[in-house]
């Protein structure tokens, strides 16, 4: 632990975050962001996912800073526990998705073959449902999803195109995909 980290008052930083002080959150991120990314990446074993989780963790720290109780533990432990729990939840969700995909694949193998290859390649009903679900997204978020998955742009290219921060673009796309999946279910 560096001297800067030892001298920094994490309790006060969280209190400042609770009062809406953006500089306090920025300082927390500057001091702990890289370390938190390392911890999360060791848990999820995926750099991109780890970056998303760290972004979401700092948003949660910002939003829930007023719930921190120094009687229950240190502020530094509290912020890392948020990231750790998010990482573990992401692993559980990923395992559920893989299990669902495997189950769907098995069910498809049991089904009869489609009438033609074109019927398999394009399911009109699913296409219509996807259009409806896309229309339900906010315009900015829908455009990000379309740029990523239709136009093939990277998150960084989308961020440069829209002028929004990279972390915001990643969060929008991630949350939009969750909403699309729920809508299509």
The residue extents of the domains of the chain are: 8-100, 122-184
Q: Is the pLDDT of residue 117 over 60?
A: no
CATH architecture of 8-100: Orthogonal Bundle (1.10)
* Beta carbons of 166 and 159 less than 8 angstroms apart: yes
**Structural tokens at position 115:** 């009438």
Q: Is the pLDDT of residue 162 over 90?
A: no
pLDDT at position 6, please? Answer: 61
Using the Cα atoms of residue 49, residue 50, residue 56 and residue 59 in order, give the sign of their dihedral.
negative
Mapping DSSP onto H, E and C, the string for the chain reads: CCHHHHHCCHHHHHHHHHCCCHHHHHHHHHHHHHHHHHHHHHHHCCHHHHHHHHHHHHHHHHHHHHHCCCCCCCHHHHHHHHHHHHHHHHHHHHHHHHHHHHHHHHHHHHCCCCCCHHHHHCCHHHHHHHHHHHHHCCHHHHHHHHHHHCCCCCHHHHHHHHCCCHHHHHHHHHHHHHHHHHHHC
Name the most confidently modeled range: 92-106, 114-128, 171-185. Answer: 171-185
Nearest to 178 by CA among 74, 100, 118, 97: 97
Which tens digit of pLDDT belongs to each residue from 119-135? 444 444 556 777 788 88
| Average pLDDT for 145-164 | 83
pLDDT-derived band at 29, boundaries 50, 70, 90: very high
| Average pLDDT for 150-159 | 82
Which tens digit of pLDDT belongs to each residue from 46-61? 888 899 999 999 999 9
| Average pLDDT for 89-116 | 60
| Structural fold of domain 122-184 | Arc Repressor Mutant, subunit A (1.10.10)
Residue 155 to residues 114, 121, 128, 162: CA-CA distances in angstroms?
A: 36, 27, 26, 10
pLDDT at position 61, please? Answer: 95
Place of tokens 């533990």: 73
pLDDT at position 154, please? Answer: 85
pLDDT at position 63, please? Answer: 94
């Amino acid at each position: 632990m560096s001297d800067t980290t030892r001298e920094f008052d994490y309790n006060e930083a969280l209190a400042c975050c609770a009062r809406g002080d953006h500089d306090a959150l920025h300082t927390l991120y500057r001091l702990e962001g890289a370390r938190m990314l390392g911890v999360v990446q060791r848990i999820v074993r995926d750099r991109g996912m780890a970056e998303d989780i760290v972004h979401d963790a700092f948003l949660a720290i910002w939003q829930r800073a007023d719930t921190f109780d120094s009687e229950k533990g240190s502020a530094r432990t509290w912020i890392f526990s948020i990231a750790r729990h998010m990482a573990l939840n992401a692993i559980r969700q990923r395992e559920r998705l893989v299990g669902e995909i495997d189950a769907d694949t098995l069910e498809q193998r049991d089904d009869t073959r489609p009438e033609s290859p074109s019927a398999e390649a394009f399911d009109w009903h699913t296409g219509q449902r996807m259009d409806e679900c896309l229309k339900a997204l906010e315009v900015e978020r829908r455009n990000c999803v379309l740029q990523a998955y239709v136009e093939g742009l990277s998150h960084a290219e989308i961020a440069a195109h829209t002028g929004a921060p990279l972390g915001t673009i990643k969060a929008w796309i991630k949350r939009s995909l969750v909403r699309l999946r729920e809508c299509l279910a």
